[in-house]
Amino acid sequence: MKIKVAGVELHCDVAGGGPVVLFVHGFPLSGRLWEPAVRRLSSAYRCIVPDLRGMGRSRGTATATMQDYAEDLAVVLDAVGETGPVVAVGLSMGGYVLFEFFRRHRGRVRALVLADTQAVDDKPETRARRQEMIAAVRQRGSSVAAEAMIEKLFGPDAPAGLRREWLEIMSASPSEGVTAALQAMADRPDSRPTLAEIDVPTLIAVGEHDTITPPGVHREMHEAIRGASLEIVPGAGHMLPVEKPEAFGEILERFLAELELGDDPLSNSNTVK
C-alpha cells in the first residue's frame, strides 16, 4: 500500500494478522530485508514493513532527519489502523530510527529488537567520510555507496549470489534518499543516554562477523539496557536477517512467543546466548 506522509509517498507491505510487529530496515536497503522473517511470522503476527522515505519503493526528500523517519513510522501505524503498542524490530540505521521512535512515542512500543546496530553517534572522522560519500553519490549515483558497502555487509561465507542481489537492491535506491539518509546518520544524536531509559522487553542480536557494528558494541548495549537479552549468531555479518534467516527467525519467534506467554525479561538478569 501507499501512504502519504507530509506530501511524501511511502510504500508499506502488510502481512498476516495478530499482535503487531513493525520492521524497520537499514541503509540503503528496503523492506525486502525482512521477507524471510515475515514469511515465518505472518501466520501468527501482523507484520508491518515500510520502506523508509527515499529508499526501496518510497519517495524521498532532499533532506531527512532521524526525527522525520521516526514520525513517518507513527503515521504508517496510524494509516494501517494500529494505535496500540507494537514490537519494533530495527537493523542498523533502522535501530537509530527506533531509538528516536522510542523517545518520541514510548507508549507505542511494546518491545524492541535491535539487530546489528549501535547507540553511539558518529565520530568526526565518520561524519567526514559520510560527507565524502554524499558528494560521490550526487556525482555518480547510488551505486557508489552500494559498492563501497557491499563487502562490509556480509560474513565471509555469504554466497556470492546473495551479495550480488543486495548490491543491485542498494544500487537501485534513489540518490536523493541515499544522500538524505547519509546526512541524517551523520547528524543523529548519541542514543547511549536512552539505553538506561528503555523499560520494555528488549532483544539484541548481532552476527559474530559484523564489522560495521561489532559484537562488542552490542555487549555494551546489553549491559546498559535493563533486562535485555543478547544473541550472537555464528557465521553472520551485518545482514543477519538474510544471511542467517533460519537462525534469526528462530530467535525472533522465540522472543515474540515469550512476550505472548507473559514472560517479562525485565524481571530477570541480563542473559547472553
Q: How far is CA 105 from CA 20, 74, 84, 97, in A?
A: 16, 8, 11, 12
pLDDT of residue 260: 65
pLDDT of residue 6: 79
Low-confidence ranges of the chain (pLDDT < 70): 260-273
pLDDT of residue 5: 83
Distance spanning both ends of the chain, measured CA to CA: 38
pLDDT of residue 57: 93
Looking up residue 7, the CATH number of its domain turns out to be 3.40.50.1820
Q: What is the pTM of this model?
A: 0.94
* DSSP per-residue codes, 149-164: HHHHHS-TT--HHHHH
Q: What φ, ψ does residue 2 adopt, rounded to 5°?
A: -110, 135
Query: Among 27, 38, 66, 24, which Cα is nearest to 153's?
Result: 27
pLDDT of residue 265: 39
pLDDT of residue 7: 81
Domain ranges, residue 231:
2-272
**At residue 21, what is the residue type?**
V
Q: How many domains does the chain have?
A: 1
Q: Which three cell numbers stand for residue 79?
A: 494509516
**CB under 8 Å to 57, separation ≥6 — which residues?**
11, 30, 51
**CB under 8 Å to 230, separation ≥6 — which residues?**
204, 205, 206, 218, 219, 222, 270, 271, 272, 273
Edge-to-edge strand list for the sheet holding 86-91 = 2-5, 8-15, 46-50, 20-24, 86-91, 109-115, 202-207, 229-233, 271-272
pLDDT of residue 159: 95
